Structure 1
Amino acid sequence: MSEQIPSTELSGYYAWTHTLQGVYYGPGSVSTALPKLLDTLGASKALVVTGNSLYTKTDVVKKVEGILRDQNRYAATFYNIGGHTPISGVRAGADAFKESGADIIVSVGGGSPIDASKAIIFFLQEQLGGEFLRQIAIPTTLSAAEYTVIAGYTDEASQKTTVSSPYLAPSGVILDAELTLATPETLWLSTGIRALDHAVENLCQPFEIPPLKHLCYGAIVDLFNYLPQSKADPNDIHARQKLQVASWMSLWPSRQGYSDVGLSHALGRSLGATYSVPHGITSCLTLAPTINLKAKVASEEDKQWLAGALHQLKQTSTGSLEGDVVKLSVLIEELVSNLGLKTSLDRYDVPREDLPTIAERALRGRNENHRDVVAFLETLYSSP
């Protein structure tokens, strides 16, 4: 194992992303926030980038298009972005942008269209030079892609790859809970677990600054409280808005961006595109066992941060640091189960013989033991 890196630095630097001009939030906020952001950014025509289902099965994109038309700022809509952001969609989206006469992208949907928009901007800058184009993100899930400087997409070999730049983070974000009502329940709740994955793993990420860790504690509490409420009443706008803000707190934007991922996220990347496991579902599979493993292998400082989540959740201590981390993993597992999100690797036809390769890809540059990770992946199959 390589040397443990402290997860908290008591000296360092923090700043906003290079690009972010504002986050607007609140039910119904898109109607006023979108024109304000376009004015702030001096944008004249927008290409809307979204997914096929959101475009054809809901009126969410039509509402955004209507606001742009009212402002005489609508160029076109590109809606061929698939799950895990295939490179073919990114290339086609870049062509659509050039053909539309737009000077800004408005992405609508989950992590795939938001990441696709970042990748489109990245490749257009490579092709055309000059300043990076800008994006306004209107998320309808809780995956939090709108706060990072990294664009993840799937290459021709069905492997997840990334590009990054300080200028890729969206220039504006609009969190309007009313636009999430059409999001399918499993997608909404599972991306909530994805946000929980961000918050929990950021407690023991290398060099994460202390104020952001305390924001993550707040995110953990709200996700535990409001995900069950949202499942019980899918039309509860208050719960949905709370969850959108919790997602924001789980991955608070900074100039440093999101340069590293924890083991659960790394396993999600290794599983997701190759085996068509949705982003949120990968966190439902891997987060709880990853935290269980942390009870054995994490540094004392990281265990203290993880155990501190129990206090935030008003849970009693087990009396030991390792026991408290294990208890946190059990609470996460129970939350996933209570939300109806418990699943297995065989449900997605992941062959057992692939587990060593999955673990190896996820562990590049990491401290955890390959054998330990393969062992916990083995437990993620249905009982015979």
Structure 2
Amino acid sequence: MALSMLPTSGSYLCTPLRAVHWGPGSISSLPTIIRSLVSSYDKNAQPTAMIITGKSLLEKTPVIGDVCKMLEKEGMFGGVFSEIGQHARKLVRVEFWVFAYPRDSGVQAIKQVKAAQKLAEDNKVNVLVSIGGGSPIDSAKAIAYFIHESSKSDNFIPHIAVPTTLSVAETTQNAGFTNEQGQKAGVNHPDNAPRAIIYDANLAMYTPLRLWLSTGMRAVDHAIETMYRDGAPPQIRHMAMFATKGLFEALEACKKNPDDVKIRQNCYLVAWESLWPLARAGALGLSHALGHKLGATYAIPHGICSVLTLPETVKLMSRNLEGNDLACLATAHAFLPTAYQGSVDKLGLDASAASEEAQRAAAHQVGEAVALLVKNLGLESTLKEYKVPEGDLEGIAGKVEDSKPDGAPYKKDQIMESILKKIY
């Protein structure tokens, strides 16, 4: 990012993240990480780790079984809480060989999170290990939050995140879940972020390709919306530009070679760059805000929400942004792979030096590029496909406008006409 685009003052707020381990086979470092985290606040405590995961990973892959055996061998296995669904909407069965807890698919997510909290407390668990996508990771954050609330302790129970998708929930302090009304809700605290992350591509090989690629689009969403998010430090925006380039290239490569473990490992690393650990609250931008309203209410997966909303959101923002935010989005055009740059003039690494017209053209092409990437990955979809009633669109737009940050450059009618109607 050119010097003319950098603010002269600002701040970067770190999360409590202490370690990130990556590479095929890096899950083997889990026992060492658990010991380190527990001993950092109680040297005499016996590490007892509870795994938070989903039904598919537990029943259809060897991933959870292998991790359980590893922890049992080290004397630190504290159980498995399984069947976490998209948006943490549906949890709960705890396997008979771990905890005896009844299945009730009708229980709302917040009640299920509370049930997991009680199991962790009753069994004196002192580490949470989430394995899976954004839902298990967010659920573990919520469990840690509620344990902290009930214990009145100064410390949060440490949480180790082991992602098997590219949603990048592991770098944030937000914890989303579905409330009793079936709406997206959540908790937020600086100490809620995971203390450690493990990116192991061997585990990612079990993730179905469509899910992997769609959550990769979620990472693209993170990267692009970071470029115009109010308060995003310049260093983070700069990293997001490189992440955009890396994600376009890595996701296309993975589509062509889904069984290449090195490509999947690379996807992890560029996704990590798309949402670098930063203590912050709230949605990144309009695409994310729309996803929050659509996902839990209509059971649309996290990644597909971004597939639906991001291309048209970026095009709208290209018309509405001003100043440095517009220049940052326009500069992202220079980071796109050549095949995605279209016929728009390249503005180099300092779009602020170009005319406003040229900036808006470059920023608009970023939206066109996202739409083309969605097509090339075979992820095109519509709201109608997910049975969103057309009569609900105005209400969705209204809810997004009602919850938008002060000064956000969009209005209800623009959300309706420029995004929701076009993706219906």
Which interval holds the TM-score relative to the shorter structure? over 0.9
Q: For 1:90-101, list aligned pairs within 5 A.
A: 90-101=113-124
CA distance in 1, matches of 2:284, 2:62: 34
CA distance in 2, matches of 1:50, 1:15: 29
Deviation, 1:202, is 0.1
Secondary structure (helix, strand or coil) at the match of 1:249 reads helix
Q: For 1:236-247, list aligned pairs within 5 A.
A: 236-247=260-271
> Contact (CA 8 Å) 1:8, 1:207: kept in 2 or not?
no
Q: For 1:247-258, list aligned pairs within 5 A.
A: 247-254=271-278, 256-258=279-281
CA distance in 2, matches of 1:300, 1:210: 14
- The answer on 1:25 being equivalent to 2:22 is yes
The one of the two structures with greater contact order (alpha-carbon pairs below 8 A, sep at least 6) is 1
Secondary structure (helix, strand or coil) at the match of 1:242 reads helix
> Contact (CA 8 Å) 1:81, 1:89: kept in 2 or not?
no
* Alignment-derived partner of residue 392 in structure 2: 354
CA distance in 2, matches of 1:52, 1:8: 46
* Alignment-derived partner of residue 4 in structure 1: none
- The answer on 1:273 being equivalent to 2:296 is yes
Structure 1 residues 159-210: Cα deviation after superposition (integer angstroms, max 9, x where no partner): 1012100110001100001101111111110000000000000000001111
Structure 1 residues 247-304: Cα deviation after superposition (integer angstroms, max 9, x where no partner): 11011112x3344420000000000000000000000000000000011111132221
**Which residue of the other structure, out of 29, 35, 41, is the alignment partner of 1:39?**
35
The one-letter amino acid of 2:111's match is: S
Size of the alignment, in residue pairs?
A: 372
- The answer on 1:378 being equivalent to 2:374 is no
CA distance in 2, matches of 1:216, 1:261: 13
Deviation, 1:316, is 6.3
> Structure 2 stretches of 5 or more lacking a match?
40-46, 89-108, 346-357
> Contact (CA 8 Å) 1:189, 1:227: kept in 2 or not?
yes
CA distance in 2, matches of 1:194, 1:75: 32
Give the superposed CA RMSD: 1.5
The one-letter amino acid of 1:327's match is: Q
Q: TM-score, normalised by structure 2?
A: 0.85
**Which residue of the other structure, out of 261, 278, 294, is the alignment partner of 2:317?**
294
Deviation, 1:99, is 2.8
User: Which of structures 1 and 2 has the bigger CA Rg?
Assistant: 2
* Alignment-derived partner of residue 258 in structure 2: 234
* Alignment-derived partner of residue 3 in structure 1: none
CA distance in 2, matches of 1:215, 1:69: 39
- The answer on 1:124 being equivalent to 2:147 is yes
Residues 52-61 or 362-371, more deviating: 362-371
Secondary structure (helix, strand or coil) at the match of 1:42 reads helix
- The answer on 1:71 being equivalent to 2:70 is no
Deviation, 1:324, is 1.0
- The answer on 1:334 being equivalent to 2:358 is no
Deviation, 1:155, is 0.3
> Contact (CA 8 Å) 1:310, 1:317: kept in 2 or not?
no
The one-letter amino acid of 2:203's match is: L
- The answer on 1:216 being equivalent to 2:259 is no
> Structure 1 stretches of 5 or more lacking a match?
1-6
Deviation, 1:317, is 6.4
Secondary structure (helix, strand or coil) at the match of 1:167 reads helix
CA distance in 1, matches of 2:8, 2:271: 25
- The answer on 1:88 being equivalent to 2:122 is no
- Percent of aligned positions with the same letter in both sequences? 39
Q: For 1:163-242, list aligned pairs within 5 A.
A: 163-242=187-266
CA gap of 1:270–1:259, structure 2 versus 1, over 3 A, is: closer
CA distance in 1, matches of 2:318, 2:13: 32
* Alignment-derived partner of residue 127 in structure 2: 104
* Alignment-derived partner of residue 145 in structure 1: 169
Deviation, 1:230, is 0.8
